[in-house]
């Protein structure tokens, strides 16, 4: 117990997991927005949009998240010189790496969100879309008013799995210096390597605390919001 208290006092473990939570929430919102747009492209009647959506999912889903994170840092910042924070700010570096991490997480997990939503769209009976078109609704109103609400309900379980995966994948952004849980764990191992098993226990317990309630919540929601056919 003394070693546990010593580690928690020496390292900002709670702050690191708070950063993990911020990355998870920000990445969830970003991936949901991008993924919804990509899913709409995937089911669009316009061949060009379908090709764009398919290409995005195929390319991003089969690219390691680590490569996407490094591309954001070295491609967007070092090569293209894009600015993601005020250079004169004393927290410019931290703000930049945080926003790059959010961007990478959003872009990567959007491909999984898009496929989850597409599977939800496929559960909606085609007759409902045909009925909407018969009363004069176009593709976008039919999608937003009839198809997507049911698709989200049908995709609750896979969206929950994506959110849990996103929570765990936040550890990847430690490679560009974002001070989340994996970043702090690396410092703990470096300076307190003799407490290796305790360090692993702390980090594992932290992620269980974050992901277990999500699993329970989305399981309940998938049953509660299931569309009765």
Residue 205 within a domain: no
Residue 192 within a domain: no
Residue 156 within a domain: yes
The pTM (predicted TM-score) of the whole model is: 0.90
At residue 227, the pLDDT reads 59
At residue 49, the pLDDT reads 93
CATH of the domain at 119: 1.10.3720.10
Tens of pLDDT, residues 124-152: 887 887 787 788 777 778 887 888 888 88
Residue 87 within a domain: yes
**SS3 of 112, please?**
helix
As for how many domains the chain has, the answer is 1
Q: What's the chain's Rg over C-alpha atoms?
A: 21
Nearest to 21 by CA among 9, 11, 29, 33: 29
Domain span at 96: 19-179
Buried b (16+ CB within 10 A) or exposed e, 80-113: eeeebbeeeeeeeeeebbbebbbbbbbbbbbbbb
């Amino acid at each position: 117990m003394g070693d546990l208290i010593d580690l928690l006092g020496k390292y900002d473990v709670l702050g690191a997991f708070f950063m993990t939570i911020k990355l998870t929430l920000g990445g969830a919102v970003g991936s949901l927005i991008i993924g919804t747009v990509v899913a709409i492209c995937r089911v669009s009647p316009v061949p060009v949009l379908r090709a764009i959506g398919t290409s995005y999912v195929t390319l991003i889903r089969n690219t390691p998240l680590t490569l996407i994170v490094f591309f954001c840092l070295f491609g967007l910042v070092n090569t293209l010189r894009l600015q993601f924070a005020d250079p004169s700010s004393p927290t410019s570096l931290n703000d930049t790496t945080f926003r790059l991490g959010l961007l990478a997480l959003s872009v990567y997990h959007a491909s999984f969100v898009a496929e989850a939503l597409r599977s939800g769209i496929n559960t909606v009976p085609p007759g409902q879309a045909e009925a909407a078109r018969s009363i004069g609704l176009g593709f976008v109103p039919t999608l937003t008013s009839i198809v997507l609400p049911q698709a989200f309900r049908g995709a609750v379980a896979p969206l929950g799995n994506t959110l849990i995966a996103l929570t765990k994948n936040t550890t990847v952004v430690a490679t560009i210096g974002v001070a989340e849980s994996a970043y702090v764990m690396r410092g703990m191992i470096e300076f307190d390597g003799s407490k290796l098993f305790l360090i692993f226990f702390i980090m594992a317990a932290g992620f269980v605390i974050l992901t277990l309630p999500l699993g329970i919540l989305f399981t309940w929601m998938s049953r509660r919001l299931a569309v009765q056919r």
